[in-house]
C-alpha cells in the first residue's frame, strides 16, 4: 500500500503539472492520449484504495449527486461593481479625480494596471492552505451562490495551488467565460442532438455554471481568468496590482495575457484603442477594458464610494445599434409615481441579447425624439445598460404613425398626473392608492440591498397587491401561510419558506432600513451616511433641515426630501408599524454621545498614513464619534497628515488648524 500511496501522489502531481501547462501556459507537454492514460492509472489506484482519495485529487473534479438548490456564501470582502466610462473625457476626469485625491503634483502621472473586460460571470474562489474550498458567484456583492462543486469541474481552476508560499487563506476573484470557439462548437453539438442553442457566450457561461448537476457543467467549455484578490489571512500581498497578478500566475491561477501597465491618460487611451482594434481576434468576448491604480497602497488610500472603488473604472466599447419598429408606447409608473414612457418593439438582436423594450426616460425625451407608434427606429445597447432609442428614421415613418401624449390621469389608478414646472418628470399623485406605486415600493423594500426578503420576487409582490393582501411594507409582516396559499403556483412548502424569510428580514441594519423605506434621493451611500451620523432612528426623525444638512455630501434638495418623508403622517404610521412588528437593528455601539473620545470633532485626512488606509482611518474616526470631511475649514478640529500630504496641509497651516499624524490620532482614540 505504501508504494501505491507514493504512486498516487506522483500521478496527481504529474496531472496538476500537465493541467497547468495546458490551461494556464497554453503549452501542453504531452498528447491527450498520454494524459488520459495517467488519469486512468490514478483512477484504478484510488479505486483500489478509497481511503487515499482526497478532495484535491484530479479525479474528484466531478463527484457527487446533483444538488437540489444552491446554498448561500457571504463574501469575506464585498465583491464591488465598477463605475463605467464611455468617452475619452470620462477617462480624463477619472484620472483627474484619482490625482486630486492622491494630492499629486501637476504633471505627475499614475500607473494603471490595464486589462480587457471580459463579458462573463464574476466568481470568487477561496483557497485554504493552498487547497480550493469554496466557490461563489458575485450575487449582490455581499452574498453569492455556492457553486463550489461546479467550479471544481473547470480544468483551468487548480484544486491545489502551486508552490508553498501562498497565504493560509486567500480569496481570489475572476471571470468565468466561454471562448468563441468553445461556444460555437457547443451550439453545433446541441443542434446535432436536437437541443436548443444558446444566444451568446455570456448567457451560456452563466447558465452552465448554475447547473444543479455538476456533470452538465463539466461538459461545457468553461474557462476562467483571474484578476484580483479579496480576503487574505496569514500572508502579505506585493506592492503593485501587476505584481499580484504575476504571483497568481505562479500559483497556477490563469490570468489574461493582454494585461499591461500604462501611465497616465495617454497610455490608457492607447491601450483602449489597441485592444479595441484587436477585439475580434482575441478569441473571447469583451465589452471594454478595465483600469486599476497599480499601487495597492494608493488603492487603499483612494477607498470606495457606495458600491464601487474610486481606484478603478471600466472603459466600455461603443454601443451596438440595430434597427427595428415601434409596436406601441406605454406608460410605466415607478415607486415614486414617476411616469416613464416605454417603447414596445419588434424584437431585435443587439448587443448580445434580444431586445423588445426600450426606455424613453420622460415626456421631454419622447417629444424631443418625436417617437411615434409605427416608427422605424435605431436601438442602442451598451453592455448591461438599458436599451434606448437613439433616433427615428423619419423617411420610413408610415402615414398612420401615432403620436403619444403625456396622460392627464394615471394609467394604473386614474389619479391626476402632475408635472412641476421646470422638472422633466411627471408623477401620479395617487401615492399608495396607486397599485403600481405600491408594487414598485414593495419590490424595492424587499430587494437584496434593502431588507433582503428572499423569495419575495416581482411576481409574488404583484399578486399580493392585486389580491389586496398587502398595501404597505408593514403588511408583509402580518402575512400568514394560509393567505399565501391563495397565490398562483404557491405551495405550502414555498409559503412556509417565504414567511420564514420575511421574519428573518426583521433583523437588519439601520442603513438598510433607511434605504428600504424608499425615501426620494436616498440611495445606499446616503442611507449609510445618515445612519452613521445620527446613530438612531429617533434622532433622525427629530432632526431639523439644518441638522440633516450637516451630514457629509447631503445638499438642500436631499435634506428637504428626508425631512418631508418623516413629517408625512402616512410614512410615520408605516414606520411605526414596521417597528411594532419587530423590525430592528443593533443599537449603535458608539452613538454620538459626549462620552465618545472624538465626539464633536471634525477631521480631514491628507497624504498616505503609515499603516492605516484612508477607508480604515475614516471608519476609526467615525466609530469613535468623530466626523470626517473632505475640505479644511475653520471648523475643522484636526488634519491627519501622512506622507506626501498636499494642499490640505497648507490650508490647515493657513487656518491654524491642529495637524496630527497617525500615532496622535491613535492616542486620541486611546488605541496606543
pLDDT digits (tens, 9 = 90+) for 585-623: 988 754 444 567 888 788 988 888 887 777 778 878 877
CA–CA distances in Å: residue 256 to residues 113, 121, 277, 404: 12, 15, 17, 49
| 134: its cell numbers | 469554496
What span, in angstroms and rounded, lies between the C-alpha atoms of 320 and 349?
10
For residue 571, pLDDT over 50 is answered with: yes
Query: 37 lies in which domain range?
Result: 2-60
Output the pLDDT for position 609. Answer: 83
Q: Based on the domain organization, do 299 and 212 belong to the same domain?
A: yes
> Which domain CATH number covers 223?
3.30.470.30
Number of structural domains (the chain) is: 6
- Residue scoring higher pLDDT (351 or 540): 540
Is the pTM of the predicted complex or chain greater than 0.75?
no
* 117 labelled catalytic: yes
Q: Report strand pairing: 658-660 vs 638-641.
A: parallel
List, for residues 507-554, the tens digit of each pLDDT value.
Answer: 999 999 999 999 988 988 788 889 888 989 999 999 999 999 888 778
**Catalytic residue selected from 117, 292, 627, 648:** 117
Q: Based on the domain organization, do 192 and 244 belong to the same domain?
A: yes
Output the pLDDT for position 68. Answer: 61
Average pLDDT of 338-365?
A: 89
351 neighbors 383 (Cβ within 8 angstroms): yes
Neighbours of 269 (CB within 10 A): 15
For residue 253, pLDDT over 80 is answered with: yes
Output the pLDDT for position 672. Answer: 46
Q: Based on the domain organization, do 447 and 299 belong to the same domain?
A: no
List, for residues 469-505, the tens digit of each pLDDT value.
Answer: 998 999 999 999 999 999 988 999 999 999 999 999 9
Q: What is the mean pLDDT of the chain?
A: 87
- Among the candidates 316, 350, 372, a domain finishes at 316
Q: How sure is the predictor about 671, in pLDDT bands with cuts at 50, 70 and 90?
A: low
Q: Based on the domain organization, do 354 and 287 belong to the same domain?
A: no
Q: Based on the domain organization, do 543 and 631 belong to the same domain?
A: no
Q: Based on the domain organization, do 310 and 199 belong to the same domain?
A: yes
Output the pLDDT for position 163. Answer: 85
Q: Based on the domain organization, do 470 and 528 belong to the same domain?
A: no
Which has the closest alpha carbon to 351: 377, 323, 383? 383
Output the pLDDT for position 651. Answer: 86
What span, in angstroms and rounded, lies between the C-alpha atoms of 473 and 64?
42
The angle at the Cα of 194, spanning 189 to 197, to the nearest 5 degrees, equals: 60
Q: Based on the domain organization, do 125 and 237 belong to the same domain?
A: yes
What span, in angstroms and rounded, lies between the C-alpha atoms of 605 and 425?
39
For residue 251, pLDDT over 90 is answered with: yes
Output the pLDDT for position 4. Answer: 78
- Among the candidates 449, 480, 504, a domain finishes at 504
Query: What does DSSP assign to residue 14?
Result: H
Amino acid at each position: 500500500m505504501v508504494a501505491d500511496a507514493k504512486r498516487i501522489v506522483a500521478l496527481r502531481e504529474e496531472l496538476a503539472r500537465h493541467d497547468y501547462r495546458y490551461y494556464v501556459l497554453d503549452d501542453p507537454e504531452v498528447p491527450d492520449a498520454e494524459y488520459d492514460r495517467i488519469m486512468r492509472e490514478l483512477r484504478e489506484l484510488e479505486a483500489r484504495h478509497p481511503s487515499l482519495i482526497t478532495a484535491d485529487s484530479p479525479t474528484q473534479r466531478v463527484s457527487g449527486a446533483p444538488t437540489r438548490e444552491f446554498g448561500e456564501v457571504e463574501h469575506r470582502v464585498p465583491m464591488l461593481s465598477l463605475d463605467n466610462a464611455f468617452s475619452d473625457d470620462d477617462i480624463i476626469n477619472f484620472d483627474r479625480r484619482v490625482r486630486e485625491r492622491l494630492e499629486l503634483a501637476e504633471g505627475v502621472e499614475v500607473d494603471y494596471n490595464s486589462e480587457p473586460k471580459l463579458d462573463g460571470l464574476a466568481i470568487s474562489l477561496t483557497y485554504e492552505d493552498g487547497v480550493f474550498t469554496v466557490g461563489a458567484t458575485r450575487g449582490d456583492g455581499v452574498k453569492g451562490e455556492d457553486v463550489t462543486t461546479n467550479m471544481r469541474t473547470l480544468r483551468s481552476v487548480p484544486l491545489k495551488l502551486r508552490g508553498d508560499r501562498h497565504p493560509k487563506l486567500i480569496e481570489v476573484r475572476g471571470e468565468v467565460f466561454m471562448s468563441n470557439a468553445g461556444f460555437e462548437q457547443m451550439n453545433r453539438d446541441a443542434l446535432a442532438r436536437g437541443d436548443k442553442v444558446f444566444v451568446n457566450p455570456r448567457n451560456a457561461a452563466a447558465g452552465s455554471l448554475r447547473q444543479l448537476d455538476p456533470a452538465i457543467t463539466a461538459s461545457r467549455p468553461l474557462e476562467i481568468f483571474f484578476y484580483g484578490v479579496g480576503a487574505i489571512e496569514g500572508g502579505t500581498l506585493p506592492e503593485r496590482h501587476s505584481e499580484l497578478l504575476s504571483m497568481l500566475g505562479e500559483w497556477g491561477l490563469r490570468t489574461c495575457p493582454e494585461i499591461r501597465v500604462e501611465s497616465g491618460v495617454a497610455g490608457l487611451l492607447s491601450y483602449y484603442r489597441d485592444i479595441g482594434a484587436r477585439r475580434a481576434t482575441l478569441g473571447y468576448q469583451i465589452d471594454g477594458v478595465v483600469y486599476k491604480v497599480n499601487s495597492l497602497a494608493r488603492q487603499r488610500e483612494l477607498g470606495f464610494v457606495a458600491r464601487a472603488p474610486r481606484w478603478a473604472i471600466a472603459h466600455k466599447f461603443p454601443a451596438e445599434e440595430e434597427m427595428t419598429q415601434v409596436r406601441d408606447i406605454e406608460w410605466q409608473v415607478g415607486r415614486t409615481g414617476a411616469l416613464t414612457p416605454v417603447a414596445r418593439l419588434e424584437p431585435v438582436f443587439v448587443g448580445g441579447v434580444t431586445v423588445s423594450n426600450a426606455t424613453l426616460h420622460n415626456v421631454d425625451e419622447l417629444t424631443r425624439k418625436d417617437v411615434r407608434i409605427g416608427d422605424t427606429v435605431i436601438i442602442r445597447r451598451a453592455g448591461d445598460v438599458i436599451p434606448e432609442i437613439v433616433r427615428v428614421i423619419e423617411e420610413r415613418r408610415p402615414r398612420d404613425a401615432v403620436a403619444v401624449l403625456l396622460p392627464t390621469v394615471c394609467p394604473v389608478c386614474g389619479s391626476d398626473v402632475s408635472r412641476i414646472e421646470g422638472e422633466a418628470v411627471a408623477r401620479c399623485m395617487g401615492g399608495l392608492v396607486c397599485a403600481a406605486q405600491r408594487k414598485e415600493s414593495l419590490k424595492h423594500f424587499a430587494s437584496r440591498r434593502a431588507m433582503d426578503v428572499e423569495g419575495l420576487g416581482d411576481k409574488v409582490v404583484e399578486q399580493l397587491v392585486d389580491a389586496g393582501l398587502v398595501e404597505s411594507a408593514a403588511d408583509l409582516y402580518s402575512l400568514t401561510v394560509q393567505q399565501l396559499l391563495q397565490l398562483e403556483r404557491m405551495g405550502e412548502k414555498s409559503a412556509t419558506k417565504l414567511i420564514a424569510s420575511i421574519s428573518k428580514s426583521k433583523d437588519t441594519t439601520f442603513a438598510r432600513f433607511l434605504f428600504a423605506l424608499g425615501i426620494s434621493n436616498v440611495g445606499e451611500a446616503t442611507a449609510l451616511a445618515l445612519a452613521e451620523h445620527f446613530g438612531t432612528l429617533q434622532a433622525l426623525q427629530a432632526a431639523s433641515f439644518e441638522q440633516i444638512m450637516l451630514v457629509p455630501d447631503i445638499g438642500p434638495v436631499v435634506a428637504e426630501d428626508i425631512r418631508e418623508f418623516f413629517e408625512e403622517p402616512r410614512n410615520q404610521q408605516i414606520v411605526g408599524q414596521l417597528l411594532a412588528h419587530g423590525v430592528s437593528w443593533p443599537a449603535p455601539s458608539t452613538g454620538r454621545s459626549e462620552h465618545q473620545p472624538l465626539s464633536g470633532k471634525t477631521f480631514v485626512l491628507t497624504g498616505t498614513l503609515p499603516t492605516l488606509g484612508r477607508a480604515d482611518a475614516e471608519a476609526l474616526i467615525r466609530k469613535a464619534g468623530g466626523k470626517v470631511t473632505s475640505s479644511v475649514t475653520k471648523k475643522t478640529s484636526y488634519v491627519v497628515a501622512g506622507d506626501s500630504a498636499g494642499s490640505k496641509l497648507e490650508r490647515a497651516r493657513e487656518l491654524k488648524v491642529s495637524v496630527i499624524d497617525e500615532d496622535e490620532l491613535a492616542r486620541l482614540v486611546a488605541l496606543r
